[in-house]
Amino acid sequence: MAGLSDTSPEAERVLLGVLRRMPFERRWRQIGEIYDLAKCLRAMGQAKGKESTVNPPNENLQVLQEVITALSSLAIPYALGGSLASCLFGQMRTTLDADLSVEPFPGKEAALCACFGEDYYISQECVKDAIRRRSSFNIIHLTSGFKVDCFIRKDRPFDQSAMARRRSYPWPGQMGLTLQCVTPEDVVLFKLEWYRLGDEASERQWRDIIGVLQVQADKLDDAYLDHWAADLGVTDLLGRARQDANG
């Protein structure tokens, strides 16, 4: 999986050291800043000399906050996963969506949809179907295009374990609001499974996996990783990922 790089080995070691020492609040703020920079550059490229409108700072995180506030108000357990979680625990990159693992909440579909106004897309029928089939539904902020994918927790031991192990972090700048997030180990395992299901073709998924392994390094529970990698049928991928992370 090794490829061309514009970063020397020494600079890579320095960067990993910085990321390992960076506190949660700083990483969370940088995720929003990276997204905002990408949006600004895109707006500049599309403007072609005309004045362009740039959305408020950290709008993606504001959208995610609104979704999490809605879930919390209805006592629906959730955990942030996917690429935003891998950014928090590994290498940062831009992403246009957020992934949440959500406990099934039959009977609350209408109440959840009612939490969002006309500036959001959410389908009550899709929510009901996702709960029934243990699949996913989407919440889209129509102004920014930022999307939150809500995956109803599957009824299998690994998913139950990942939800039970989620960690709580104070939301930076928001008194009393917390962010529930899957652990770094579970980020790696979920992404290894997605990588395999995607015919092992996604370089982004693989880089996310390697980033978490490199940044978290000796903080990871290797026995937990080995156990669930075997259960998910991705032991070979975990071995390759560890080799790439240490290479």
- For the stretch 92-142, pLDDT in tens is 887 778 899 999 999 999 999 999 999 999 999 999 999 999 999 999 988
Sign, Cα dihedral of 13, 220, 161, 232: positive
Does 113 lie in the same domain as 218? no
If asked whether residues 170 and 197 sit together in one domain, one would say: no
- The larger pLDDT score, comparing residue 9 to residue 190, is at 190
Q: What's this model's pTM, rounded to 2 decimal places?
A: 0.82
Contacts 24+ apart (CB under 8 A), 165-174: 166/79, 169/24, 169/28, 170/25, 171/65, 172/24, 172/25, 172/28, 172/29, 174/65
Please tell me whether residues 142 and 218 are part of one structural domain. Answer: no
Which CATH number fits the domain that encloses residue 145?
3.30.460
Range of the domain at 213: 183-247
Same domain, 110 and 175: yes
- At 101, phi and psi to the nearest 5? -85, 130
Indicate whether 37 and 158 sit together in one domain.
yes
**Assigned domain for 172 exists:** yes
Can you tell me whether residue 159 is helix, strand or coil?
A: helix
Strands 147-152 and 97-102: parallel
Tokens of 160: 């139950």
Indicate whether 61 and 162 sit together in one domain. Answer: yes
Distance (Å, rounded) from C-alpha 44 to C-alpha 52? 7
Is residue 112, in this structure, part of any structural domain at all? yes
The answer as to whether 105 is a domain residue is yes
| Alpha helices in 79-221, H assignment, sequence order | 82-89, 109-113, 124-133, 157-164, 184-197, 203-216
**Angstrom distance (rounded) from CA 188 to CA 244:** 14
How many domains, the chain?
Answer: 2
Give per-residue pLDDT as tens, 151-191. 999 999 999 999 999 999 888 777 778 899 999 999 999 99
Among 182, 213, 228, which residue terminates a domain? 182
The answer as to whether 7 is a domain residue is no
Among left, alpha and beta (phi > 0; psi -120 to 50; other), residue 113 is alpha
Answer whether residue 10 is part of any domain.
no
Are residue 191 and residue 118 in the same domain, yes or no? no
Using a 10 angstrom Cβ sphere, with 0-12 exposed, 13-18 middle and 19 or more buried, the burial of residue 227 is middle
